[in-house]
Structure 1
Amino acid sequence: MEPILPLDSAEVFFDGIFSEPRLRHPEGVAIDADGDVWCGGETGEIYRISADGSGIETVASTGGFILGLAFDDEQNLYACDMRHSAVFRLDTRTGRLAHFANAGGGDEMRIPNFPVIDGSRNCLYVSDSYDPGEKGPGVWRFDLESGEGGLWYDRAMTFANGMALSPGKDYLYVAESFASRVIRIPIGENGGPEEGELFVEEIERVPDGLAFDAAGNLYIACYEPSRIYRVSPEGEIHLLIDDPEAHTLCHPTNCAFRGEELFTSNLGRWHITRIEAHAEGLALP
């Protein structure tokens, strides 16, 4: 399969190998209302990179390991933390960081991986990767105001990872990394999940992060090999861009749009990649 875009459509937006602070193997990436790029670090850092890529600062730290990130419409940033098995909420206006969610009572997320805001239902979905060597549930849902919630989709999944809400907000798409597929979960009228259905399964090796463009195409960032797929609403798979040497795209994990630019975090190195995608991203949340 030949890629749609040449590799030179991608560039290193910010190189953090020698920056101060150093960008420590970012896994999650999200864009705020001002166009600044936010990402997380392997020792709990939450970074903000200026919109033009000229600078970086550490805004907060959980002391854990930050995975997926997502903004709500009030510019609160939700961060999944693997070490603490929890979701944190950062008020980006004040810098206040607080524990937001876990189920409690002994029934808790194991590896909260990626958060998705559903503004129409005032809730946050969180994928739980559960265990790298064992299938398990699933997707959790929490109220945005109280942080209360619990297990929402209880079917066993094979390392649930990146997620994205469909343009019509009627499906939640979930990457199952170690099954090399993406499923979608219909959201019922009462907000509950219906039985998940296969969307695509011919994704080579390790699909990780998901994002939609405004036309309803789904973008799938693959941790291995270092590439990004674009899948049409009908499920037709195209290879968007590929980096055989894993240099500019180096084990990309999550991805996020800013206009027609697609940004990826690179867990394999210390930089953020920017791709001229020639497609407008779906407005979030």
Structure 2
Amino acid sequence: MVLNEIKPFMTTDLSHIGSGLNRPECVLAARDGSLYTGDWTLGIARIAPDGTTGPAVETDLIAHGFRPNGIAMTADGDFLFANMGKAGGVWRVGRRGEARPYATELDGTPIPRTNFVLVDGDRTWITISSSGRNHDRFTAEENTGQILLVQDGKVIVAAEGLNWTNELRISPDRKYLFVNETFACRTTRYDIAAGSLLSNPVRITYPGDTYPDGMAFDAEGSLWIVCVISNRLIRIAPDLSWTILFEDVNHRELDTIASAHAEARLTWDQISQSRGSRVSNLSSIAFGGPDLKTLYLGGLGNREVQVLRSPVAGLPMGHWQ
């Protein structure tokens, strides 16, 4: 397949939808035009096609101590959410009714705070950024991240020793799992073998000021990645070459953060205060719209979801059906 050549986007190409969001870390686009995102005020927020924003579920997840981060939608319309609250684990909640445990223990031990969850047919993949619950240390040596697999009612460790494990996706041909290791400044590709075993990691390494977070595949098999701090949008081709399609950053500020990261003294305060001219800490990307050519971008420091138009359609996720 010959890939479409995509011209870089400008900040002036951005529009937005929704309002009053609190840390929209992970965005899901649904076929009916709705958007859903984890939200630390609303729990899970729904943005209607007209931009109206409100809670997607009746139960007050925040009042119950949950902090939804990554979210996924099940075949019957429930939500799974990776919980950054004290209880950790992954939980399931319907539009009505209380949240209930989905994956909260591993071999009898509580699963710590989780970052992301992906429904993959009869499998579910979960990422843990730091299994030692160390969410205040952001270095290239914090290699306690894990990928968990839920299958046939069992939770197992599929991969470990990763650095700040963030979003993951399965390739369109079902052969590979891609995962972002944010503070190692890399994306790692695993082979998926029989029995869902992960093997043969191949690492795509970026410059030391590039911190990959969210990802989504397009219909041409390329992987789109957004980066916190640097607010970059990267497209990785099937041959693993990559290009930068968008950037919105104060370069002096970015240099300061990159130096702090290299010297193992990067703090959450520095990360949370970083911002570009229009966006702040891009963390999620989803293709949506009737033609799957609308890009929705979530960001930790934004109060709305950013919007771009892509010349290439996205690959529909499982919940699209």
Given the two structures, how large is their TM-score scaled by the length of structure 1?
A: 0.87
Q: For residue 105 of structure 2, what is the aligned residue in structure 1? A: 103
Matches within 5 A, 1:147-186: 148-153=154-159, 155-186=160-191
Contact 1:44 / 1:65 at 8 angstroms: preserved in 2?
A: no
Larger Rg: 2
More helix by share: 2
Question: Gaps spanning 5+ residues in structure 1: where?
Answer: 17-22
Q: What displacement does 1:26 show?
A: 1.5
Query: Which of 26, 29, 32 lines up with 1:31 in the alignment?
Result: 29
Matching residue of 2:39:
41
Q: Residues 87 and 225 (structure 1 numbering): CA distance in 2 closer, same or farther, change over 3 Å?
A: same
Note the C-alpha offset of 1:248.
3.0
Coordinate RMSD, CA, aligned: 2.2
8 Å CA contact 1:124, 1:142 repeated in 2: yes
Deviation, 1:8, is 2.2
How far did residue 157 of structure 1 move? 0.7
- Report the 3-state secondary structure (helix = DSSP H, G, I; strand = E; otherwise coil) of the residue aligned with 1:249: coil
- The CA deviation at 1:203 is 7.2
Amino acid at match of 1:149: V
Partner in structure 1 of residue 143 of structure 2: 135
- Consecutive unaligned residues of structure 2, counting only runs of 5 or more, are 1-5, 251-275
Post-superposition CA distance 1:79-108 (Å, at most 9, x none): 11111211112234x455322112245534
- Please state how far the C-alpha of 1:206 moved relative to its aligned partner: 1.4
1:92-241 residue pairs with structure 2 within 5 A?
92=95, 94=96, 97-119=99-121, 122-130=122-130, 131-132=134-135, 133=137, 134-143=142-151, 146=153, 148-153=154-159, 155-202=160-207, 204-241=209-246
The C-alpha deviation readout for 1:243-265, integer Å capped at 9, x for no partner, is 23624322111111101111111
Query: Partner residue of 1:20?
Result: none
Show the counterpart of 2:298. Answer: 265
Corresponding residue number in structure 2 for 1:91: 94
Task: State the 4+ residue runs in structure 1 displaced beyond 6 angstroms.
Answer: none
Larger proportion of strand: 1
Number of residues of Structure 1 aligned to a counterpart in Structure 2: 272
Whole-angstrom distance in 2 between the partners of 1:274 and 1:37:
12
Deviation at 1:200, TM superposition (A): 4.1
Q: For residues 34 and 229 of structure 1, what CA distance do their matches in structure 2 show?
A: 27
Residues in 2 aligned to 1:242 and 1:61: alpha-carbon distance in whole angstroms: 36
Query: Structure 2 vs 1, CA of residues 169 and 108 (structure 1 numbering), >3 Å: closer, same or farther?
Result: farther
